[in-house]
Structure 1
Amino acid sequence: MGQFVPNIVVLNILKELGMRNEKLEREVPKMVRECLIRIYDEQNYDGGWGWFKGDITHRFMTAYVVYGLALAQQMGFDVDQKCIQRGIEALWRLIRSENTPSLKAYMLFALTEAKAAWGKLAGSEIEMRKIAQTIVKASSKSALPPMAHAVLTIALSRLDEKTLAQQSLNALEKQARFVDRYCFWEGTWCRLGESDVEATAYALKALLSLKPNDPKVTGAVLWLMLKRTGNFWYSTKSTAVALLALTDYITRFREFQANYSLKVFVNGDIVHEQHITTEHIPQGEIVLTVPASVGENKVTIQKMGIGRVYYTVLLRGFVTKGMNRAEGNLLTVQRRYLVKDKRGKWIPLGSEVRIGTDVAVQLTITAKQNLEYVMVEDPLPSGWEVVQYVIGVPAKVEGLPSDWWTKTEIHDDRMALFMTYMPKGTHHFSYLLRPEIEGTQTALPPVAQIMYRPQLRGRGVGVKLTVHQ
Structure 2
Amino acid sequence: EFVDTPLWNPSVVTDANGEAQIEVTLPDNLTTWRIDARGVTSGENGPMLVGQVLEDFISTKPLLVRPVTPRFMVVGDKLTLGVIVNNNTQQDQEVEVLMQGTGFNVLEDTPLSTTVTIPAGGRVRVDWPVQALDVSNVDVTFAARTTDGSLSDASKPPVGQGDDRLLPVYKYVVPENVATAGTLEGPDTLSFTEVIALPDRIDTEQGQLDIRLDRSLAGPMLDGLDYLRNYPYQCIEQTVSKFLPNVMTMRALVSLNQSNPELEANLEVQVNYGLQRLDAEQKYDGGWGWFPRDDSNPLTTAYALIALVEAQSSGFTVDETVINRAKNFLRDYLLLTDQDVMAQSAPNWQLNRRAFILYAFTRAGEANASRISRVYDLRERLNLDAKAFLAMSMMTLDPTDPRIETLMSDFANAATLSATGTHWEDRPDYYNWTTNTRTTALILMAMVMHDPSNDLLPGAVRWMMVARKADAWETTQETAWAVMSLTNWMVTTGELNPDYTFNVRLNDGLLEIPDNTASPENAKEHEVLTVAVAELLTDEANRLTLIKDEGPGNLYYTAQLRTFLDVPSVEPASRGIIIERRYYRANDPDKTPITSAQVG
Give the structure-2-normalised TM-score: 0.48
SS of the residue corresponding to residue 453 of structure 2 reads: coil
Partner residue of 2:354 out of 93, 96, 104: 104
**1:254-305 CA distances to partner (integer Å, 9 max, x unpaired)?**
1223222212345645131644233244442223455443876765432222
> Residue 202 of structure 2 corresponds to which residue in structure 1?
none
Matched, 1:286 2:527: yes
Larger radius of gyration: 2
Partner residue of 2:558 out of 312, 317, 325: 312
Mapped contact 2:498–2:523 kept (Cα < 8 A): no
Distance of 1:213 and 1:240 partners within structure 2 = 24
- Tell me the amino acid that sits aligned with residue 114 of structure 1: A
> Residue 254 of structure 1 corresponds to which residue in structure 2?
494
Distance of 2:564 and 2:330 partners within structure 1 = 46
Q: How does 1:195-344 map to 2 (within 5 A)?
A: 195-265=435-505, 268=509, 270-272=511-513, 274-293=515-534, 299-306=544-551, 307-314=553-560
Deviation at 1:90? 1.0
Distance 1:225 1:48, change over 3 A: same
Deviation at 1:84? 0.8
Residues paired across the two proteins, number: 311
Deviation at 1:315? 5.6
**1:406-428 CA distances to partner (integer Å, 9 max, x unpaired)?**
xxxxxxxxxxxxxxxxxxxxxxx
- Tell me the amino acid that sits aligned with residue 312 of structure 1: T
SS of the residue corresponding to residue 517 of structure 2 reads: strand
**1:366-416 CA distances to partner (integer Å, 9 max, x unpaired)?**
xxxxxxxxxxxxxxxxxxxxxxxxxxxxxxxxxxxxxxxxxxxxxxxxxxx
Distance 1:283 1:105, change over 3 A: closer
Distance of 1:316 and 1:280 partners within structure 2 = 33
- Tell me the amino acid that sits aligned with residue 94 of structure 1: Y
- Tell me the amino acid that sits aligned with residue 285 of structure 1: H
List alignment gaps of at least 5 residues for structure 1.
Answer: 116-121, 322-328, 333-469
Mapped contact 2:498–2:519 kept (Cα < 8 A): yes
Mapped contact 2:533–2:563 kept (Cα < 8 A): no
> Residue 78 of structure 1 corresponds to which residue in structure 2?
317
Q: Higher helix fraction: Structure 1 or Structure 2?
A: 1
Q: Which is worse superposed, 104-113 or 227-236?
A: 227-236
Deviation at 1:156? 0.7
Mapped contact 2:505–2:511 kept (Cα < 8 A): yes
Distance of 2:312 and 2:477 partners within structure 1 = 19
**1:423-452 CA distances to partner (integer Å, 9 max, x unpaired)?**
xxxxxxxxxxxxxxxxxxxxxxxxxxxxxx
Q: Which is worse superposed, 105-114 or 45-54?
A: 45-54
SS of the residue corresponding to residue 241 of structure 2 reads: coil
> Residue 67 of structure 1 corresponds to which residue in structure 2?
306
**1:340-367 CA distances to partner (integer Å, 9 max, x unpaired)?**
xxxxxxxxxxxxxxxxxxxxxxxxxxxx
Mapped contact 1:48–1:87 kept (Cα < 8 A): yes
Deviation at 1:87? 0.7
Distance 1:291 1:35, change over 3 A: farther
> Residue 281 of structure 2 corresponds to which residue in structure 1?
42
- Tell me the amino acid that sits aligned with residue 249 of structure 2: V
- Tell me the amino acid that sits aligned with residue 244 of structure 1: M
> Residue 151 of structure 1 corresponds to which residue in structure 2?
389
Distance 1:256 1:82, change over 3 A: same
Q: State the identity %.
A: 28
Distance of 1:315 and 1:35 partners within structure 2 = 38
> Residue 425 of structure 2 corresponds to which residue in structure 1?
186
Distance of 1:256 and 1:179 partners within structure 2 = 28
Deviation at 1:227? 1.4
- Tell me the amino acid that sits aligned with residue 252 of structure 2: I
- Tell me the amino acid that sits aligned with residue 109 of structure 1: Y
Mapped contact 1:258–1:276 kept (Cα < 8 A): no
**1:143-176 CA distances to partner (integer Å, 9 max, x unpaired)?**
4211111110000111117123223222232222
Q: Which is worse superposed, 81-90 or 299-308?
A: 299-308
Mapped contact 1:19–1:282 kept (Cα < 8 A): no
Deviation at 1:236? 2.1
Give the structure-1-normalised TM-score: 0.61
> Residue 12 of structure 1 corresponds to which residue in structure 2?
251
**1:228-270 CA distances to partner (integer Å, 9 max, x unpaired)?**
2222122222112112111111211212232222123456451
Distance 1:189 1:280, change over 3 A: farther
Instruction: Give me the CA root mean square deviation.
Output: 2.8
Distance 1:131 1:316, change over 3 A: same
